Amino acid sequence: MKYFKKSISYLLLILVLIPSSVLAYSKYLIPGGENVAIEVNFSGVLIVGLYDIDGVNPGTDAGLKIGDTILKVNNNKIVNIDELIENVNKATNNQIEITYSRNNKVNTTKLNLINSEGVLKTGLYVKDTLTGIGTLTYIDPESKLYGALGHEIIESNTGTMLEINNGHIYDSEVINIERSENGNPGSKIASLKLNDKKGTIYENTNKGIFGKYTSQLPDKKKYKVASIDDIKLGEASIYTVISGNEIKEYKINILKITKNDTKNILFEINDSELLKETGGIIQGMSGSPIIQGNYIIGAVTHVVIENPNHGYGIFITNMLEEAEN
């Protein structure tokens, strides 16, 4: 999925009561690698822009900002744009009360509506859904819970992590590649098959998206979940799609292992075929499983902008533990 560029850029659940020493996930996982389309519905309606009407900016005057999420209008809960429009059209005195969230704090304000050519306008550009692509990391064969991306979904206009209400993953086919170059990460170009649903999305976190896989489980070799101590420097592989739906294995070299929150595995791509086709890590590879021997050890999460044949990955155990919380 495409996000803001930084010195290091993003490429791309059930709570159970168990003893802290016991893990609910399986010891063996089905590795992913499939390119998936992602569609999420926000918890409310997200403000992605503000505009002037006849020289007046109602949103700015009301103290609203890009990235705010509208939760209620005149104390009526809002979950999509249609409900926002319906409540705007019911407004009296050309004013509505908006309840919104910003930085996890809920606020209220008065928004003045402007009648322009017989239409009540808010001066707000808004979204209630987002679509993009990423890579499936794993499926737990026993619970059918899955993890993907290895990092959060970020709305490109605001640069903020989305609080989602629900969503789905779908089949997707890679139709073209924009190659990475130093200072400019490339990306997968894909078609989204929104009639071929693969699973639901329950949660969006800084360690990935998680949900229930609802399609038939793929018939693949299962890999053992690696503990941190199982992971070694040196040769490993990633599984990903760069053309059509074909998952292929590409060689990488693990350079450094760090026990922090998300950027756990520093690696370089040394697979000549992948470097020729993509120039390195590209956006859309987020979530590509990292395999070492008979272990699934993590997922691709970041590209190093200045040197895109280098990237970072997250430990698979960090994703699995996040899915339990």
Quote the tokens at residue 262. 């998300």
Distance, in Å, from the CA atom of 162 to the CA atom of 155, rounded to the nearest integer, reads: 7
Cross-strand pairs, 127: 46
What amino acid positions are annotated as catalytic residues? 151, 271, 286
Q: Are 150 and 300 in contact (CB under 8 A)?
A: yes
Number of H helices, E strands in the chain: 4, 24
Location of structure tokens 């078609």: 191
Quote the tokens at residue 181. 């170059």
Phi, psi dihedrals of residue 123, rounded to the nearest 5°: 80, 15
Quote the tokens at residue 136. 């499936």
Query: Got the DSSP string for 40-75?
Result: EEEEEEEEEEE--BTTB-HHHHTT--TT-EEEEETT
- Strand, coil or helix: what is 245? coil
Burial class (CB in 10 A: 0-12, 13-18, 19+), 296: buried
What is the phi-psi region of residue 163: left when phi exceeds 0, alpha when psi lies from -120 to 50, beta otherwise? beta
Distance, in Å, from the CA atom of 59 to the CA atom of 124, rounded to the nearest integer, reads: 6
Quote the tokens at residue 205. 């976190």
